[in-house]
Amino acid sequence: MSAHDVLRAATPHAEPRAGATLGATCAVLAKDLRLLWRRRASWLAAATFATLSVLTYAFAFDLVTDDVRPLLPGVLWVTFLFAGVVALGRAFADETEQGTLDALLVAPVPRTTLYAGKLVAYFCALLAIDVAMLALATVLFNVGLLTPQLLLLTALGAAGYVSLTLLLGTLGSRVHAREVLLPVLALPLLMPLLIGGVRATGAALDLPHGDAPWLWLLVVFTFWSAAASALLFPLAVER
């Protein structure tokens, strides 16, 4: 096999083949899922941190009482938020440090494709941790938490959370105290997600929750954050 064969320049095809973008999205998604699997040690750390949070709340707020249900939505959602902070802190850091982000930017793929691939991969990982926490809390507090309603709420919350934090994750690696700065920037933006999530979970558990349409707040917020992040990501990631 001669070098000439290896290097022969491609016949310049004017348009890419149909389905090339979809193929690229699947390639990015597969790559991110594979990388997440290879880095599963750090995700186990995030899951352990989440478990520790639940235990900490149990001790700090004395959750051994019979009437633990009113406190559960808060415990769950704060755990989700802080587990997310631990899990997503390095979302783009490795790509930036290894230089692979440049390789992705140079490839003929739309920037939104890069975002979508990472979004789906991290959403799956965070959802897995959150569902594990729901199962743990079900056992610890004797309350049935693995219902379709609660799973839907958790999925919405994870989607809204991951979409905004991925956008913020493009913060350059040269900034000092980057890991602390990301939650400082993300949490005020996510207050509506927290409020809506806690109240909607309370509603699902038959706790008093007022008249406001909490589920709609969660849905609208999640869609808005996904749309805004997808639109602004190409601007954020350019050098």
Partner 1 sequence: MNAARALLGAAHAARWTALPPLTGVAMLALIVGAVIVAPREAVEGEVQRLFYIHVPAAIAMYIAYGITFVASLVVLWRRDLRADAVARAATSVGVLFTALVLATGAIWGQPIWGVWWAWDARLTSTLVLLLLFGGYLLARSLADEHDEQAARFAAIFAVVAFLDIPIINMSVRWWRTLHPQPIVLRMPGDQALPDAMLAVLAVGVVAVVLLALWLVALRADTEQLAQRAAALRAAVDRREDA
Partner 2 sequence: MSVSPTGAHPAPMIAARSLGKRYGSVPVFEDATFAIAPGARIALTGANGAGKSTLLAVLTTLAAPSAGEAWIGAHAVSRASSALRRTIGVLAHRPMLYEELSPGENLRFFARLYDVPAADERCEELLRALGLWRRRDEPTAVLSRGLHQRLAIARALVHRPAVLLLDEPETGLDADGLALLDELMLCAPGVTVLAATHRLERVARWADGTLHCARGRIAASGAAAATPVEACAPLVAVRT
CA separation for the pair 100, 97 (Å, rounded) = 8
Among 168, 200, 203, 219, binds partner 1 (CB under 8 A): 168
**Nearer CB in complex with partner 1: 24/81:** 81
**Binding positions for partner 2, 2-31, rule CB under 8 A:** 3-10, 12, 14, 16-17, 20, 23-24, 26-28, 30-31
Among 33, 71, 93, 105, binds partner 2 (CB under 8 A): 105
DSSP notation for 63-112:
TTSS--GGGHHHHHHHHHHHHHHHHHTTTTHHHHHHTHHHHHHHSSS-HH
* Distances 172 to 90, 93, 101, 226 between C-alpha atoms, Å: 12, 8, 12, 21
CA separation for the pair 179, 74 (Å, rounded) = 24
Q: To 10 degrees, the CA torsion angle through 86, 197, 220, 238?
A: -10
The site for partner 1, by CB under 8 A, has a size of 38
Q: Quick check: 69 binds partner 2 (CB under 8 A)?
A: no
170 binds, among partner 2, partner 1, none (CB under 5 to 8 A by kind): partner 1
8 binds, among partner 1, partner 2, none (CB under 5 to 8 A by kind): partner 2
Q: Both tokens of residue 88?
A: 């997503």
7 binds, among partner 2, partner 1, none (CB under 5 to 8 A by kind): partner 2
φ, ψ (nearest 5 deg) of residue 171: -55, 130
Nearest approach, Cβ of 161 to partner 2 (angstroms)? Answer: 25
- Who's near 88: CB < 8 A, 6+ residues apart? 122, 126, 162, 165, 166, 169, 182
Q: Quick check: 108 binds partner 2 (CB under 8 A)?
A: yes
DSSP character at residue 69: G
**Binding positions for partner 1, 171-190, rule CB under 8 A:** 171-172, 174-177, 181, 184-185, 187-189
Q: Quick check: 221 binds partner 1 (CB under 8 A)?
A: yes
Q: Quick check: 19 binds partner 1 (CB under 8 A)?
A: no
What is the identity of the amino acid at 213? P
Among 42, 56, 65, 100, binds partner 2 (CB under 8 A): 100
Secondary structure element (H or E) that encloses residue 224, with its range: helix 214-237
Q: How far apart are the first and last CA of the chain?
A: 39
φ, ψ (nearest 5 deg) of residue 14: -65, -50
Q: Quick check: 41 binds partner 2 (CB under 8 A)?
A: no
**Nearer CB in complex with partner 2: 108/148:** 108
Q: Could you list the residues that contact partner 1 (CB under 8 A)?
A: 164, 167-168, 170-172, 174-177, 181, 184-185, 187-189, 191-192, 195-196, 199, 208-212, 214, 217, 220-221, 224, 228-229, 232, 235-236, 238-239
